[in-house]
Amino acid sequence: MCTKAGEAAVVNGLRIQESGGNLVTNDLHYAGSIHDYMGRRKAGMDVRIVKHRDWRIDLRDMEKVIDRKTKLVSITLISNVNGWVEDAAAISRLAHAHGAYLYADIIQAAGSVPIDVKALGIDFAACSN
């Protein structure tokens, strides 16, 4: 199974659109995932994509769009776009404070940095071989 399929399984399983919830991500996430989310947005899902500032994601920008209707925050732990390393622990605390889950695509991180999903507060992760 590929990482994108794992992510789609999480999104589908949470029934975000059917519940009237929203999904938050950012534009340093994997392009294939962004493409999927744009299609879901066209189909009516509330998808919120935070834009980078100087190729970094500012946590304050994530805070502005995560709310009580957010069901999932979806990130790439290490961006394949530019190597940006997300502060997954801080994003997890923010998501969990609003009752949301955190998904992380960890494929770029695997083998490069230690990954402790429990310590980082990651609820769902996917990685292909």
* Partners of residue 86 on adjacent β-strands: none
**Amino acid found at 107:** I
List the structure tokens of 110.
Answer: 């695997």
Of the candidates 23, 61, 62, the residue with the CA atom closest to the CA atom of residue 40: 23
Round to whole Å and give the CA distance between 96 and 72. Answer: 10
29-71: per-residue pLDDT in tens?
999 999 999 999 999 999 999 999 999 999 999 999 999 999 9
**What pLDDT is attached to residue 128?**
84
Rounded mean pLDDT of 87-99? 98
Query: Residue 31 corresponds to which amino acid?
Result: A
Q: How confident is the model at residue 1 (pLDDT cuts 50, 70, 90)?
A: low
- Give the number of other CB atoms < 10 A from CB of residue 20: 11
Q: Which fold has domain 3-126?
A: Aspartate Aminotransferase; domain 2 (3.40.640)
Q: What is the pLDDT at residue 2? A: 85
